Structure 1
Amino acid sequence: MQKRAFLKSLGLLSASFPLLSFDTAHAAFDAKTLLPKAIKKGDTVGLIAPSAAVADRMQFTFAQEALEALGFKVKLGENLKNRYGHLAGTDAERAADLNEMFANNEVKAIVSIRGGSGAARILPLIDYKNIAKNPKPLLGYSDITALHCAIHAQTGLITFHGPMGSGGWNSFNVAQFEKVFFDQEKMTYENIHPESDDLVVKPNRIQTLTSGTAEGKILGGNLTVLTAISGSPYYPDFKDAILFIEDIGEDPYKIDRMMSTLKLNGTLDQIKGFIFGQCSDCEPGGGYGSLTLDQVLDDYILPLNIPAYSGAMIGHISKQFILPVGAKVAMDADKGTISLLSSVFQ
Structure 2
Amino acid sequence: MSLLSRRSALALTAAASLPLSTAASTPPALLRAPRLKAGDTVGLISPAHATYEREPVQIATEALQALGFKVRHGQHVRARHGHLAGTDAQRVEDINRFFADDTVHGLIALTGGSGGTRILPAIDYDQIRRTPKFLGGFSDLTALVNGIHQQTGLITFHSPTALSQWNAFSVDHFKALVMQGSLPLLKNPTGELGDHLVQTGDRIQTLRPGKARGRLIGGNLAVLTAMAGSAYWPRFHGAILFLEEINEYIYRVDRMLSTLRLTGALNQVAGVVIGQFTKCEPGEGFGALTLDELFDEYFLPLNVPVYRGAMIGHIRRKFTVPVGALAEIDAAAGTLQLLEPSVV
TM bucket by the smaller chain? over 0.9
Displacement of 1:118 in angstroms is 0.4
Give the structure 2 partner of residue 319 of structure 1: 317
| Aligned partner of 2:187 among 186, 190, 206 | 190
Give the structure 1 partner of residue 199 of structure 2: 201
Give the structure 2 partner of residue 41 of structure 1: 38
Indicate the SS of the match to 1:107.
coil
Identity of aligned residues (%): 48
* Contact kept in structure 2, 1:22 and 1:233, CA below 8 Å: no
* Contact kept in structure 2, 1:139 and 1:164, CA below 8 Å: yes
Residue range with higher mean Cα deviation, 273-282 or 193-202 = 193-202
Say yes or no: does 1:70 pair with 2:98.
no
Give the structure 1 partner of residue 165 of structure 2: 168
Give the structure 2 partner of residue 344 of structure 1: 342
* Distance (whole Å) between structure 1 residues aligned to residue 216 and residue 295 of structure 2: 19
* Distance (whole Å) between structure 1 residues aligned to residue 41 and residue 211 of structure 2: 39
Indicate the SS of the match to 1:294.
helix
Indicate the SS of the match to 2:296.
helix
* Contact kept in structure 2, 1:210 and 1:307, CA below 8 Å: yes
Indicate the SS of the match to 1:149.
helix
* Contact kept in structure 2, 1:244 and 1:276, CA below 8 Å: yes
Give 2:67's aligned amino acid.
L
Residue range with higher mean Cα deviation, 48-57 or 312-321 = 48-57
Displacement of 1:241 in angstroms is 0.2
Displacement of 1:286 in angstroms is 3.3
Displacement of 1:269 in angstroms is 0.5
Indicate the SS of the match to 2:170.
helix
* Contact kept in structure 1, 2:156 and 2:322, CA below 8 Å: yes
Say yes or no: does 1:92 pair with 2:89.
yes
* Distance (whole Å) between structure 1 residues aligned to residue 260 and residue 179 of structure 2: 35
Runs of 4+ aligned residues of structure 1 deviating over 4 Å after TM superposition are: 16-19, 27-30
Give the structure 2 partner of residue 247 of structure 1: 245
Displacement of 1:20 in angstroms is 2.7
Give the structure 2 partner of residue 221 of structure 1: 219
Displacement of 1:287 in angstroms is 2.3
Give 1:178's aligned amino acid.
K
Displacement of 1:288 in angstroms is 4.9
* Distance (whole Å) between structure 2 residues aligned to residue 154 and residue 19 of structure 1: 15
Give the structure 1 partner of residue 99 of structure 2: 102
* Distance (whole Å) between structure 1 residues aligned to residue 287 and residue 122 of structure 2: 43
Give 5+ residue unaligned stretches, structure 2. Answer: 1-11
Give 2:148's aligned amino acid.
I
Give the structure 2 partner of residue 6 of structure 1: none
* Contact kept in structure 1, 2:35 and 2:180, CA below 8 Å: no
Displacement of 1:300 in angstroms is 0.6
Instruction: Tell me the C-alpha RMSD between the 2 structures.
Output: 1.8
Say yes or no: does 1:159 pair with 2:153.
no
Displacement of 1:178 in angstroms is 2.0
* Contact kept in structure 1, 2:178 and 2:342, CA below 8 Å: no
* Contact kept in structure 1, 2:27 and 2:150, CA below 8 Å: no
* Distance (whole Å) between structure 1 residues aligned to residue 140 and residue 321 of structure 2: 15
Displacement of 1:200 in angstroms is 1.9
Give the structure 2 partner of residue 149 of structure 1: 146
* Distance (whole Å) between structure 2 residues aligned to residue 123 and residue 286 of structure 1: 35
Displacement of 1:283 in angstroms is 1.9
| Aligned partner of 1:20 among 16, 19, 22 | 16
* Distance (whole Å) between structure 1 residues aligned to residue 103 and residue 314 of structure 2: 31
Displacement of 1:21 in angstroms is 2.9
Give 1:58's aligned amino acid.
E
Aligned residues: 331
Indicate the SS of the match to 1:312.
coil
Give the structure 1 partner of residue 6 of structure 2: none
Give the structure 2 partner of residue 212 of structure 1: 210
Give the structure 2 partner of residue 13 of structure 1: none
* Contact kept in structure 2, 1:35 and 1:158, CA below 8 Å: yes
Give the structure 1 partner of residue 134 of structure 2: 137
How far does the alpha carbon of each residue in 1:307-326 deviate from its partner, in whole angstroms, 9 at most, with x for none? 00011000000000001111
